[in-house]
Amino acid sequence: MRLSKPGTDSPQETVLRLESDAYGLPEAHVNYEIIDHIRGSGTMKVDIAYPDDRVCIEYDGNYHYTHGRWMYDLDKRNRLRDLGFTPFVATREHLASKQKLNELFGMVARAIASHRYGLD
């Protein structure tokens, strides 16, 4: 419990944040709100964000596998890209495999480096 942060929506998000810390990524912000100034529809909340680097991670559990939620998530991720964020998606398969989790965090790290240093 001492490792959890207020506002986290699920145990999986806490595990993802703790594993990202262990991987060496910058400090993650949980349930970070991004203002949608393009559409003007308020804010979008992302599970984990590295706001200074314009990168975020969304955890998709079973709740995200209905057609309506899937369509909402696709639109949200397109909007995030339009707002200059690079969104990544984690699933239970990532949490079940250290290799897949490290691959995901490697992609996140490269996106952070790209933003910070203009790398391609």
pLDDT band for position 1 (50/70/90)? very low
- Asked if 86 and 55 count as a contact pair (C-beta separation under 8 A), the reply is yes
Q: What are the b/e assignments for 31-48, b being 16+ CB within 10 Å?
A: ebebebeeeeeeebebbb
SS3 sequence, 2-17? CCCCCCCCCHHHHHHH
Mean pLDDT of all residues in 34-58 = 93
Mean pLDDT of all residues in 11-35 = 95
The terminus-to-terminus CA distance of the chain in angstroms comes to 39
CATH number of the structural domain 11-114: 3.40.960.10
Per-domain boundaries in the chain: 11-114
pLDDT in tens, 48-101: 999 999 999 999 986 656 878 899 999 999 999 999 999 999 999 999 999 999
119: amino acid identity, one letter: L
The side-by-side arrangement of strands in the sheet containing 86-90 is 29-35, 43-50, 55-59, 86-90
How many other CB atoms are there within 10 angstroms of residue 90's CB atom?
A: 25
This prediction's pTM: 0.88
Mean pLDDT of all residues in 34-44 = 88
Residue 2 pLDDT exceeds 50: no
